[in-house]
Amino acid sequence: MGDSIRSIPILEGGSDSFFDKLEAAAIGRKYGKGKLVFVHEDQAENFYILTSGWVKLFRETLDGTQSIIDILPAGHTFGETPIFEGGLYPYSAEVVEAADIYIAPLSILKEELETNTKLSMNMLSHLIRYKRQQDRELEHMTVQNAPQRIGCFLLRLVNQSEQGSVVIHLPYDKTLLAARLGMQPETFSRALAKLKEQTGIRVNGATVEMDSLDQLVSYSCAACSSEFPCNDLTDCK
Amino acid sequence: MGDSIRSIPILEGGSDSFFDKLEAAAIGRKYGKGKLVFVHEDQAENFYILTSGWVKLFRETLDGTQSIIDILPAGHTFGETPIFEGGLYPYSAEVVEAADIYIAPLSILKEELETNTKLSMNMLSHLIRYKRQQDRELEHMTVQNAPQRIGCFLLRLVNQSEQGSVVIHLPYDKTLLAARLGMQPETFSRALAKLKEQTGIRVNGATVEMDSLDQLVSYSCAACSSEFPCNDLTDCK
């Protein structure tokens, strides 16, 4: 367990004694698909370290629509911000692919942040990269059409320096992917059909293939303020 | 000058010696409307403290569309994140209403962040509130229609506990407001007309009047995951 917690990027800069305390206090648990980890506005005692699987962070509007804030892969933490937000979780968290999660007291993280500027600087750095990613998502909502936004999502899944033909495996199912991109399933289907037509990509179940990235880049990246390759944005999805 | 810098919310927690150094090094300058303060990807030596006026932060897409990241009122800083972003400004900054700005070396801020966890904790707290605001903006792009988004923008300008009739002064012109909301000017005009029709608000130049907030709240806030009043989001625009 020690290794997997010590290698979480957002905790980089933590002291040895911080990791020792975390390891002594954290509880590892397996969660099945569909399991709620916590609910928006629950009182927060713990934060969560995801070491395998996928977790969806979401909120619900008053009229019942679900809004997805993020879908996290392994290597991310969640539920840590109540330290700064009055002790309540600002979103709900649900496991979307069977997950291994360490549950650890927020008090240990808070104490370390209050005494170790290496950790707080590292966390600031992560948040700012995350903010850039959100800036770009907001920009794309305005300047890109739906097929371009799907193209952009695909480009952020690949090694962007790849030459020649490329195979991408979609990380989760298309309904969830549509929701992550803020699209209705039928809008997503139409947009994906248009993207195939415009760029020649081939989609087979969860696999997407193309002869090179060039078509996708020229189709999506003209309507973006970041230049391709935009690897700086890819790890903050 | 000392007072105005010491009262900037994001610098709260800075030590006396930090503020002394800032005051000794900072240069105050007046900027006219339309003046560019810096350009995206300029090498960053300084950050900027806005004590009056308005500043627009923006990027441009490869095909020439301008995307507004933020429009800042007095009391905000900008250009501070290159500390964490490889030393380059991640956006351009332009004065949109005549502004007083202090220009101060990033090195002083960086040194203080590396040694004073009070300041870094305060900055983390601000960034996380800002992130919540962006979460909500992304949500609204999906779940709210254009008139609801204008209604939401207006509600975040008022004292939300206000009873009875309300007068709102738009902080900047409608073209800029449309761009801030990611709308074309003609979409904005149509949406504002629809909002007036649905909620009975009266718009006269830069002044918006209504008999109470109720109509606006029931029209816009049903399609939002925050409950009204949402004052927690208002200061991070």
Q: Does B2 have pLDDT greater than 60?
A: no
The closest CB to that of A63, out of B139, B223, B227, belongs to B223
The reply to whether the predicted model has a pTM over 0.90 is yes
Q: What is the pLDDT of residues A46-103, one digit of tens each?
A: 999 999 999 999 999 988 899 999 999 999 999 999 999 999 999 999 999 999 999 9
For tokens 């999502």, the residue is A153
CB A141 within 8 Å of CB B182: yes
Q: What is the pLDDT of residues A133-181, one digit of tens each?
A: 999 999 999 999 999 999 999 999 998 988 899 999 999 999 999 999 9
Q: Does A117 have pLDDT greater than 80?
A: yes
Per-residue pLDDT averaged across A36-55, rounded?
97
- How confident is residue A1, by pLDDT bands cut at 50, 70 and 90? low
Per-residue pLDDT averaged across B148-177, rounded?
93
Q: What is the pLDDT of residues B145-160, one digit of tens each?
A: 999 999 999 999 998 9
Q: Which residues of B touch A132 (CB under 8 A)?
A: 85, 90
Per-residue pLDDT averaged across B168-193, rounded?
94
Most B CBs within 10 Å, among A71, A114, A127, A237, to test the B interface? A127
Q: What is the pLDDT of residues B67-87, one digit of tens each?
A: 999 999 999 999 999 999 999
Q: Does B173 have pLDDT greater than 70?
A: yes
CA A6/CA B104 separation, integer angstroms: 36
Complex confidence, ipTM: 0.93
pLDDT at site B236: 38
Percent of all residues in chain B with a pLDDT value above 90, rounded to a whole number: 91
* pLDDT averaged over every residue in chain A: 94
CA A60/CA A91 separation, integer angstroms: 9
> What distance lies between CA B49 and its chain's CA centroid?
13
CA A165/CA A173 separation, integer angstroms: 23
| Minimum distance, in Å, between the CA of residue B226 and any CA atom of chain A | 7
CA B119/CA B113 separation, integer angstroms: 6
Q: Which residue of A has its CA nearest to B223?
A: A61
Between chains, do A120 and B125 touch, taking CB under 8 Å as contact?
no
CB B108 within 8 Å of CB B22: yes
| Minimum distance, in Å, between the CA of residue B146 and any CA atom of chain A | 12
Q: Which residue of B has its CA nearest to A184?
A: B142
* E strand or H helix at B55: strand B46-60
* pLDDT averaged over every residue in chain B: 94
Helix, strand, coil percent content, chain B, rounded in steps of 5:
45, 25, 30
Q: Does A40 have pLDDT greater than 80?
A: yes
pLDDT at site A35: 98
Q: Does B237 have pLDDT greater than 70?
A: no
pLDDT at site A82: 97
pLDDT at site B235: 47
Between chains, do B125 and A84 touch, taking CB under 8 Å as contact?
yes
Per-residue pLDDT averaged across A111-132, rounded?
96
Helices (DSSP H) in chain B: which residue ranges?
A: 2-6, 16-25, 106-115, 117-143, 146-155, 174-180, 185-199, 214-220, 231-234
CA neighbor of A133 nearest in space, from A224, A222, A45: A224
pLDDT at site A236: 37
Q: Comparing B54 with B234, which gets the higher pLDDT?
A: B54
Q: What is the pLDDT of residues B96-154, one digit of tens each?
A: 999 999 999 999 999 999 999 999 999 999 999 999 999 999 999 999 999 999 999 99
| Minimum distance, in Å, between the CA of residue B66 and any CA atom of chain A | 9
In terms of Cβ atoms closer than 10 Å to its own Cβ (0-12, 13-18, 19+), residue A20 is exposed
Q: Which residues of A touch B84 (CB under 8 A)?
A: 121, 124-125, 128-129
For tokens 């600031």, the residue is A124
Q: Does A237 have pLDDT greater than 70?
A: no
Q: Which residues of A touch B178 (CB under 8 A)?
A: none
pLDDT at site A2: 58
Between chains, do A129 and B84 touch, taking CB under 8 Å as contact?
yes
Structure tokens at B67: 């995307």
CA B220/CA B217 separation, integer angstroms: 5
